[in-house]
A = this chain, B = another copy of it.
Amino acid sequence: MNVTEKFGRFLYGGDYNPNQWPREIWEEDMRFFKDAHINSATVNVFSWAKLQPAEDRYDFSELDDIVTTLARENVEIVMATSTAALPAWMVKKYPEVARTDFEGQQHRFGGRHNACPNSPAFRRLASALVERLAERYAGHPNVRIWHVSNEYGGECFCPRCEAAFRNWLKEKYGTIEAVNKAWNMEFWGHLVYDWDEIVVPNALGDGFDGGEKTAFAGISLDYRRFMSDSILDNFRMERDIIRKHDPDAVVTTNLMGTYKGLDYFRWAKEMDVVSWDNYPRFDTPWSFIAMRHDLMRGLKDQPFMLMEQTPSQQNWQPYNTLKRPGQMRAQSWQTVAHGGDTIQFFQLRRSVGGCEKFHGAVISHAGTENTRVFREVAELGAELERIGPEILGSGSPAEVGILFDWDNYWALEYTSGPNVLLKYVDQIHRWYEWCYDHNVAVHMIPADADFSKYRAVLAPVLYMVKPGVAEALEAYVREGGTLLTTAVSGIVGPSDNVWLGGYPGPLRALAGVWVEEWDALAPGQSNSMVFGDGTEIPCGMVCDLMHAENAEVLARFGSDFYAGMPALTRNAFGKGTVFYAGSVLESKDMDPVMGPVLERAGVSPVIPEKTGLEVVCREKDGMQYLFVLNFRDEPQCLPDSLAGLEDLLSGKKTEAGEVLSKWDVRILKRAKED
């Protein structure tokens, strides 16, 4: 059974902080929740200072009342642990609990997500709090999900972190010689002879540009890994305390999509279920939102919880546009389509003050259910209550895997050259977007995935090839798999040292090409890929000057001094095939590349027709649930292959040619073909 299925109902609710209001408001809230079909509430996210007014004093009375009130209404409580914001008294008493920033400045009391992960005082006091919380609430029938801290992230560069980093390195490398070799410290005479000569790579060490750049990728990469691990240790510390008190508790923390700072694939292994916060900008492409859902689903290859979205408006974007009527519903169903098994809002009641007071909420500052937003929330709640349980825990089939890897994310963006515009997530998204536009289902997969589950694997900008990855890809292709990779792949090993002997290094045999040089193109410059049939598509940013060694040339560069050199190749390797695209493409131009890839791999889109609709499939118990969504301004006709199916939302059978307006949703059920 999937972890989200254990609740038996589709959780619908969100963040609830009634502390700011008197009790009569709480009662009103309970009525609103019922009206809106809200059945879950996340509580206690930022209450440490309230729960523990001083080191030797705890007070759970208000939280008890909140739990009692919610439980009375049979609301599922997502119990947060409150450790994401330090109490002021603690920062004053133990200044070490606050972080030291990239510039080397020790912070004082302020903001949130501000604890040094390696502070003994923080770890001791956070443990003590969670111990008491777990003692008190674990096992409560309405407290079955625990939400540790909140939106973990950031980094610290304090002396305690420096000491812990040195220990982490000792553990990893064993000898100082191994460190020197891993980081190639001969370069620029950086050799260290003793562990305590290693200093944190902030602005006073090897880092610069606010941490975006570094003089030595090796140390900065390891610091990112160390920091991700340090914070993960904080999570594990709290999780283990909770588990001690309730071995069946579902323990999660809310992630943030393509957030750079933490290696979420490592994190997911420690989490019972992935939950995440979906906050697109007004102009974020729909494909990008979908990709982040798929990435979050892919972290554990399981349905996820949507821990936060806004019912309508955000407040911290430059332009906080309203979600249009129907948009929140469509986005919610898109979430479910991509594997979301809960829909939770930040927040249930809009705060009276503080910096997020204009963030959208189910209950507005007007304090009434007579709002557009409340009505939309309530309508969706009714739908989810009705349809949700049927879908709960269903799978998300896909024949294509796209490799996403935080080590690559970090390493590619630390590297100086060839082109400053080469950004990891953007590059991955370009290929995802093409699949999205063609309704080709995708799994976002880690570098250590079981590739054999996919007909095709896309591994764009696989700049860093970690130990075992090339071998796994070779095995996959040898057995018949189809792999696509691109320029700026196969370049470095796990510490950002180059794989010598010719690019793409360990992928050279696989791809059957040797990349002798790469050209970098400035904005406004472009080249093209010219195919045998005369088709020509623009490309740019980086152009590989490559030689086909075993590979067949599918397209050649159209201009510049390397016109005629291979630009796109296909290599037979074992029973499989490897495509290599030697430049950067926009998704709208990828048809002549992706067409052959999918054809070779035998990948089919979810429906045979090309359509402007998003069509996504979930599966359970032999049934398919096809989510059909229109995110375009123009109305779209339902493709013929989707006619005659039951729409769970309306209860009606679809008709060929029926029109979906913007934000329209259908959930069509059909038996899975074998």
Tell me the A residues contacting B by CB distance below 8 Å. Answer: 17, 19-20, 46-50, 53-54, 82, 85, 87-89, 91-92, 103-112, 183-194, 196-199, 201, 203-208, 214-218, 282-283, 312-322, 324-325, 350-359, 364-368, 371-373, 415-421, 492, 495-503, 514, 516-522, 545, 561
Q: Contact between A215 and B355 (Cβ–Cβ < 8 Å)?
A: yes
Per the bound structure, the CA–CA distance linking A322 and B516 in Å amounts to 12
Q: Contact between A204 and B501 (Cβ–Cβ < 8 Å)?
A: no
A417: chain B residues at CB < 8 Å are 313-317, 320, 358-359
| Known A20-B184, A187-B353, A373-B517; contact A92-B197, beta-carbon cutoff 8 A | yes
Per the bound structure, the CA–CA distance linking A191 and B52 in Å amounts to 10
Q: Contact between B109 and A199 (Cβ–Cβ < 8 Å)?
A: yes
Jot down 8 A-B pairs with beta carbons below 8 A, ordered by A: A50-B191, A283-B522, A312-B517, A313-B517, A319-B521, A322-B520, A359-B417, A365-B502
A109: chain B residues at CB < 8 Å are 197, 199, 205
* Closest 9 pairs between A and B when the two form their complex, measured CB to CB: A184-B353, A187-B354, A315-B417, A110-B205, A46-B189, A366-B502, A358-B417, A88-B197, A353-B497
Q: Contact between A85 and B517 (Cβ–Cβ < 8 Å)?
A: no
Most buried by B among A191, A283, A364, A514: A191
- A156: min CB distance to chain B, Å: 14
Q: Contact between A204 and B108 (Cβ–Cβ < 8 Å)?
A: yes
Per the bound structure, the CA–CA distance linking A193 and B109 in Å amounts to 13
A203: chain B residues at CB < 8 Å are 105
- A353: min CB distance to chain B, Å: 3
- A547: min CB distance to chain B, Å: 10
Per the bound structure, the CA–CA distance linking A336 and B358 in Å amounts to 44
Our pick among B183, B214, B321 for the contact of A353 (Cβ within 8 Å) is B183
Q: Contact between B199 and A110 (Cβ–Cβ < 8 Å)?
A: yes
Per the bound structure, the CA–CA distance linking A198 and B109 in Å amounts to 8
Our pick among B82, B354, B501 for the contact of A216 (Cβ within 8 Å) is B354
Q: Give A50's nearest chain B residue, CB to CB.
A: B191
Our pick among B105, B191, B367, B520 for the contact of A500 (Cβ within 8 Å) is B367
Per the bound structure, the CA–CA distance linking A121 and B233 in Å amounts to 41
Per the bound structure, the CA–CA distance linking A45 and B355 in Å amounts to 42
A514: chain B residues at CB < 8 Å are 366
Our pick among B216, B351, B372 for the contact of A184 (Cβ within 8 Å) is B351
- A493: min CB distance to chain B, Å: 9
Per the bound structure, the CA–CA distance linking A41 and B535 in Å amounts to 49
Per the bound structure, the CA–CA distance linking A325 and B516 in Å amounts to 14
Q: Contact between A501 and B184 (Cβ–Cβ < 8 Å)?
A: no
Q: Contact between A358 and B199 (Cβ–Cβ < 8 Å)?
A: no
A314: chain B residues at CB < 8 Å are 417
The quantity of this chain's copies bound in the complex is 3
| Known A111-B206, A371-B516; contact A87-B46, beta-carbon cutoff 8 A | no
Q: Contact between B204 and A106 (Cβ–Cβ < 8 Å)?
A: yes
Q: Contact between A372 and B497 (Cβ–Cβ < 8 Å)?
A: no
Q: Contact between B46 and A112 (Cβ–Cβ < 8 Å)?
A: no
Per the bound structure, the CA–CA distance linking A53 and B322 in Å amounts to 63
Q: Contact between A355 and B216 (Cβ–Cβ < 8 Å)?
A: yes
Apart from A103-B105, A321-B521, A352-B497, list 9 A-B contacts with CB within 8 A.
Answer: A49-B191, A54-B193, A88-B193, A109-B197, A109-B205, A110-B204, A318-B420, A319-B420, A358-B415
Q: Contact between B519 and A416 (Cβ–Cβ < 8 Å)?
A: no
Q: Contact between B521 and A189 (Cβ–Cβ < 8 Å)?
A: no
A110: chain B residues at CB < 8 Å are 199, 201, 204-207, 215
Most buried by B among A54, A215, A499: A215
A371: chain B residues at CB < 8 Å are 516-517
Q: Contact between B501 and A366 (Cβ–Cβ < 8 Å)?
A: yes
Per the bound structure, the CA–CA distance linking A253 and B578 in Å amounts to 50
Per the bound structure, the CA–CA distance linking A121 and B462 in Å amounts to 46
Q: Contact between A500 and B352 (Cβ–Cβ < 8 Å)?
A: yes
| Known A321-B519, A364-B516, A498-B357; contact A186-B419, beta-carbon cutoff 8 A | no
Most buried by B among A92, A218, A320, A514: A320
Per the bound structure, the CA–CA distance linking A501 and B319 in Å amounts to 25
- A147: min CB distance to chain B, Å: 14
Q: Contact between B191 and A88 (Cβ–Cβ < 8 Å)?
A: yes
A373: chain B residues at CB < 8 Å are 517
| Known A109-B199, A416-B316, A502-B365; contact A214-B355, beta-carbon cutoff 8 A | yes
Per the bound structure, the CA–CA distance linking A359 and B418 in Å amounts to 9
- A410: min CB distance to chain B, Å: 14
Q: Contact between A188 and B46 (Cβ–Cβ < 8 Å)?
A: yes
Q: Contact between B416 and A186 (Cβ–Cβ < 8 Å)?
A: no
- A584: min CB distance to chain B, Å: 13
Our pick among B49, B54, B500 for the contact of A189 (Cβ within 8 Å) is B49
Per the bound structure, the CA–CA distance linking A516 and B376 in Å amounts to 14
A190: chain B residues at CB < 8 Å are 49, 85, 88, 354
A351: chain B residues at CB < 8 Å are 184, 187
Q: Give A214's nearest chain B residue, CB to CB.
A: B355
Per the bound structure, the CA–CA distance linking A551 and B269 in Å amounts to 59
Most buried by B among A111, A112, A185, A372: A111
Per the bound structure, the CA–CA distance linking A371 and B547 in Å amounts to 11
Q: Contact between B353 and A495 (Cβ–Cβ < 8 Å)?
A: yes
A368: chain B residues at CB < 8 Å are 502
| Known A110-B205, A365-B503; contact A418-B315, beta-carbon cutoff 8 A | yes
Per the bound structure, the CA–CA distance linking A545 and B373 in Å amounts to 12
Per the bound structure, the CA–CA distance linking A311 and B642 in Å amounts to 59
Q: Contact between A189 and B87 (Cβ–Cβ < 8 Å)?
A: yes
A316: chain B residues at CB < 8 Å are 416-417
Most buried by B among A214, A419, A520: A520
A185: chain B residues at CB < 8 Å are 49
- A236: min CB distance to chain B, Å: 22
Per the bound structure, the CA–CA distance linking A503 and B368 in Å amounts to 12
| Known A368-B502, A372-B517, A522-B283; contact A318-B419, beta-carbon cutoff 8 A | yes
